[in-house]
A and B are shown apart, each in its own frame.
Chain A
Amino acid sequence: MPQSIRDVLLEGGHVIDPATGRDEVADVLLRSGKVEAIGRNLGHPDGAERLDCTGAYVAPGFIDVHCHLREPGREDVETIATGARAAAAGGFTAICAMPNTEPVTDNQAAVGFIIRQASRVSAARVHPIGAISVGQKGDSLAEFGEMVAAGAVAVSDDGRPVVSAHLMRTALEYAQTFGIPVIDHCEELTLAHGGSMNEGIVSARLGLKGIPSEAEEIMVIRDILLARRTGGHVHLAHMSTKGSVELIRWGKDRGINVTAEVTPHHLTLTESAVEGYCTAAKMNPPLRTAEDVAVLQAALRDGTIDLVATDHAPHHYDAKDREFADAPFGIVGLETALALVVTELVDSGMIDFKTLVDRMSTRPARLFGLPGGTLASGSIGDVTVFDPNFAWQVDPATFLSKGRNTPYTGKTLRGRARYTVVGGAVVHRAIEAQSR
């Protein structure tokens, strides 16, 4: 990450920082890559770059704790560089990269590789997530300690569930030595086997094998119970059902250290997006019913679901251009996440901007022990400046990600990052802001 020696003054934006309680129009001064001061009519040192933030929100940088960067192994579909740039374009100052790469990121050398690749590009920070088990095979623990020492911030076998309850228990215990969360992809494989979409009326009509909600919920309650026994921190990836929300609430009510994330697509789309066998709407866990969407939205609002994570999963267009049952699961999300949350949740009145910032920055940083998530003086200079009203149409051909697999093509959304600042360096400028 190139050090910015240039000072930056973010002028006249609406600063929202739930961590410090700040919610007002003010200037933000970044010096030596850190937040120096926030206030009105701040003076600026000579040579400081002045960025006009009028009409925009200025927030601690957004953090996506769940994305797939495909490198090493599938650089044809995404690289750490293209993923980090796509993240910056989406307003993210940091992303956590899942370890289901080829080969799997299950050792210190692999973690170090990701750190090094990320350092070569001026874009979002990349925090590697290490595998729970060697090769993600679900048999033996990977070396959490060495991976953390090399820079891993969490462990997960995402892509797959941790099938063995014993292994999950052991992981939750062992992870406490290093103070990291264990992230589980909750899927009971025998129930989900062969399924390609939600089990319900649409799957019955389309003649596609369905994945019932219980496939997720059975593993959710299992993980919550194991977190209770072990005292460990379990983080539940990509929640998709109302039943899961109920179980998470049950766990949190009892003081169990369970946290959870939801993707923008599970907040905004239902199984009807699959009509016509649309593989752009195929992902795991699948899109569910309107009732599930409503409950997930409300859960994000009340904090039962802690944060928004994209599960950005790029695929080659060839791979998705096939029979529905054969197409791979997953859609990209880094460049549409902010706008989806703004358009479908904030503009609809479900949540306010303060909650948006909390769920996309404050909590991810706090729950994962990451730098940032706040604009308190002395914090790292990771800032997301975004226009809440800027309207744009989703056109995957303009994505910085190599992945084009999105179900939102042609949709008009509101909200876009104007400036993404990482460590005091402006790593992304929106096109419309480049002449300012």
Chain B
Amino acid sequence: MTSALGKDLLDLESLTPEQISLVLDTAVPFKEISERAIKKVPALRGQTIVNLFFEASTRTRISFEFAEKRLSADTVSVASSGSSVSKGETLVDTARNLEAMRIDMVVIRHGASGAAAFLAERIESNVINAGDGTHEHPTQGLLDLLTLRDHFGSLEGLRVCIVGDVLHSRVARSNIWGLRKMGAEVAVCGPKSLLPHAIAELGVQVFPRVEEAIEWAQALNILRLQLERMTSGYIPSLREYNRVFGVTRERLERAKHEVLIMHPGPMNRGVEIDSDVADGPHSVILNQVTNGVAVRMAVLYLLAGGNPELAEAAKGGGER
């Protein structure tokens, strides 16, 4: 069966705007399912899905697990830490084992950029990238797009600024691709030591100070700043980061317009984002989480060959 998304979802860089719209549109009926008392439809009944998480993750893994279970798939989660080298079993062998078990779909999160593509090239199962190193996190990008579209109605011409450690962020890269493909204007803001050297070549504006970013943007996607960045010399301290780049209520109030607040989570309250901003009236952070399950249901459904028109019907319990 041919899927509208191809065999795998590895990145947003290779998707067309039509494919992205398809996922977002398909997610809408699946969101409704999550509001019901019985949150289950048989769309993927009989499908076996493995969640292969080589990096610790709570929210993404649970989000995928619920997406799979709500579609009635049989799902197993494997949590494993460290690279395949330190584990002793190579990713190649892991791939071959999965194929031997005739798994239908694999959701993989791994610390190495390119790991999802590596797996996808070697097995016939559908592969969904749940985050590979610092490369991409396509379902996060998609749920961010859905959240923005819900709020603003359209992504065309929307001004979105990604704030924080763009250099090490797969969420940032997926957002940059997804937003630009949908016609949005994208900017990044952060200390130069945390921006890729070639960032301007990715087609984004660069703001050196967060005040300028806030003035320009209709929405901010605030990235988590990791403690390790401080210890490896990219910035001097988290305190200084908050004082210079933190999204605070004072900074937002100085802007002449309302700015939507997004964050992929988990948040470092008081570092990249202050609590009163995260919990404030312009924050859609929890909407992102809700949309996450729906978007993942849509992706799994479409990759399994689900007919987008039948997604509405799937709500009512029909076969795919």
Contact = CB atoms under 8 A, between A and B. Distances in A.
Interface in B117-147: 117-118, 132-136
A199 B115 CA distance: 20
Nearest to A274: B114
Given A277-B113, A325-B113, A206 B135 contact: yes
A324 B202 CA distance: 22
Interface stretch (B83-91, B278-286, B295-303, B310-318): B83-91
A199 B133 contact: no
A329 to B, nearest CB: 15
B113 A206 contact: yes
Interface string A272-288: 00001100000000000
A5 interface: no
A391 interface: no
B109 interface: no
Given A206-B113, A207-B132, A277-B114, A323 B199 contact: no
Interface in B263-319: none
B272 to A, nearest CB: 20
Give chain B's interface secondary structure class. mixed
Interface residues of B, number: 27
A209 to B, nearest CB: 8
B84 A322 contact: yes
Interface in B89-112: 90-92, 110, 112
Interface residues of A, number: 21
B250 interface: no
Interface string B71-92: 0000000000001110000111
Which among B90, B114, B135, B197 has the greatest number of chain A C-beta atoms within 10 A? B114
Given A322-B84, A323-B84, A323-B110, A200 B197 contact: yes
Interface in A182-216: 199-201, 203-210, 212
Contacts of A326: 83-85, 112
B113 A322 contact: no
A206 B118 CA distance: 13
B133 A204 contact: no
Contacts of A432: none
A321 interface: yes
Given A206-B113, A208-B113, A322 B198 contact: no
A209 B95 CA distance: 25
A324 B114 contact: yes
Contacts of B115: 323
A207 B134 CA distance: 5
A216 to B, nearest CB: 16
B197 A207 contact: no
B151 to A, nearest CB: 28
B201 interface: yes
Given A208-B113, A326-B85, A326-B112, A277 B118 contact: yes
Contact of B117 (A208, A209, A277): A277
Contacts of A205: 13, 173, 202
B170 interface: yes
Contacts of A323: 83-84, 91, 110, 112, 114-115, 118
A207 B198 contact: no
A265 B282 CA distance: 53
A205 B67 CA distance: 29
Interface of A: 199-201, 203-210, 212, 276-277, 318, 321-326
13 contacts: A199-B197, A207-B113, A207-B114, A207-B132, A207-B133, A207-B170, A207-B173, A208-B113, A277-B117, A323-B91, A323-B114, A324-B114, A325-B112
